[in-house]
Amino acid sequence: MLDLVLQFLGNTGFALAEWRNLVMIVIGVVLLYLAAGKNFEPLLLLPIGFGVIVGNIPFFKGFGIGVYESGSVLNYLYFGVMTGIYPSLVFLGLGAMTDFKSLLGKPKLMMLGAAAQGGIFFTLLGALFLGFAPKEAASIAIIGGADGPTSIFLTAKLAPHLIGPIAIAAYSYMALIPIIQPPIMRLLTTKKERVIHMSETREVPRKEVLFFPVVGVLLACFTAPSAISLLGPLFLGNFLKESGVTDRLAKTASNAIVDAATIFLGFTVGCSTQADVFLNGNSIRIFILGAIAFSLATGSGIVWAKIMNLFMKDKINPLLGAAGVSAVPGSAREVHIMGLHYDPTNYLLMYGMACNASGVIGSAVVAGILWSFFTVV
């Protein structure tokens, strides 16, 4: 009987734990605190944080328990990450929640969403410089898009062993927008530029709102067919919403489906951060490169807006360039807050959301482009 007790005790998490498990559990608790205590991206950080804790509970390998063990429940749930199912479902919901009217009313703002993708390509160079393999470099660079599902989608295709650190980095930086973006915005703009008022947007007729998802999916997916699994659901969701004849479907997409996908995506990505695969030098390098990517993306958008202003009569507030990353709605909110700080009558939220929307499309297109670079036959 004593042998049985000792055998049981030897198989408990207490006996199997090592310092790395404890470090990861502390990281999970910090994420939970940021989500529940500080309200930083709670919808994402909470399931991820809890997943980090669950994924780092020590267990006896080979019993089909862990996320990387074939046949385990967690492994089946993780299937949605590895195949890109969850990111697609999140994009469906995102489309059903997104109002593109502000973008349609001022299409030139779309260029800021495109320009901010520069952060991805600059980081690609940085990651290659540091010695990462090309596919790993591309997966790390996509953090600059500030789009969690897109980062996970591309990483699952190109460098699945890096999903944990890349997802954590992407979502952490999205949560840290209020800390990362304002200094860059202040650094790259003058006070005079920050108080530029945007001109009124025109009223967008319903037909245009209906045409846009169709035109958008055709053009974007013809350009980067690899992005079909992201942009197809995104524009479908938007068409469900705007058509006015499928309210039930639009509501389901923007509530039940996106919520379920977010829970499983966050939880299983958190579980994938098992200490033995997460705590290494690569993760630290990924976090540093992720911060650089995010900062460069913010800067690229702002600089592009300033360049556009050199040629345009109808000036753009360069702060909006920071909203070209697809962190919806955090970056738009940050731009709005800074605009109000320098001029209490300057409301930039609507324009910021337009840039955010184009950033979502832009980062998905870039993910498709990067993926296609490595699937050329």
Q: Is 161 in the site for another protein (CB under 8 A)?
A: no
Identify the DSSP state of 161.
Answer: G
Strands (E), the chain: none
Q: Which of residues 239-258 bind another protein (CB under 8 A)?
A: 241-242, 244-245, 247, 250
d(CA 139, CA 331): 22
Considering only 40-48, 74-82, 308-316, 354-362, which stretch makes contact with another protein by CB under 8 A?
354-362
Least distance CB 127 / another protein (angstroms): 9
d(CA 104, CA 91): 19
By the 8 A CB rule, do 365 and 330 touch?
no
One symbol per residue from 95 to 134: x for binding another protein (CB under 8 A), - otherwise; what is it? --------xx--xx-xx-xxx-xx-xxx-xx--xxxxxxx
In the chain, % helix, strand, coil (3-state, to 5) comes to 80, 0, 20
Dihedral, 54, 84, 165, 373 alpha carbons, nearest 10: 170
By beta-carbon proximity to another protein, the closer residue of 338 and 365 is: 365
**The tokens of 217 are what?**
């999916």
Least distance CB 149 / another protein (angstroms): 18
d(CA 91, CA 139): 19
**The tokens of 231 are what?**
């942009």
Q: Is 206 in the site for another protein (CB under 8 A)?
A: yes
One symbol per residue from 35 to 74: x for binding another protein (CB under 8 A), - otherwise; what is it? ----------------------------------------
Least distance CB 159 / another protein (angstroms): 14
Least distance CB 247 / another protein (angstroms): 4
Q: Is 296 in the site for another protein (CB under 8 A)?
A: no
d(CA 268, CA 115): 32
CB neighbours of residue 237 within 10 Å: 27
Interacting residues with another protein (CB under 8 A)? 103-104, 107-108, 110-111, 113-115, 117-118, 120-122, 124-125, 128-134, 137-138, 205-208, 210-212, 215-216, 219-220, 223-224, 241-242, 244-245, 247, 250, 358, 361-362, 365-366, 369-370, 373
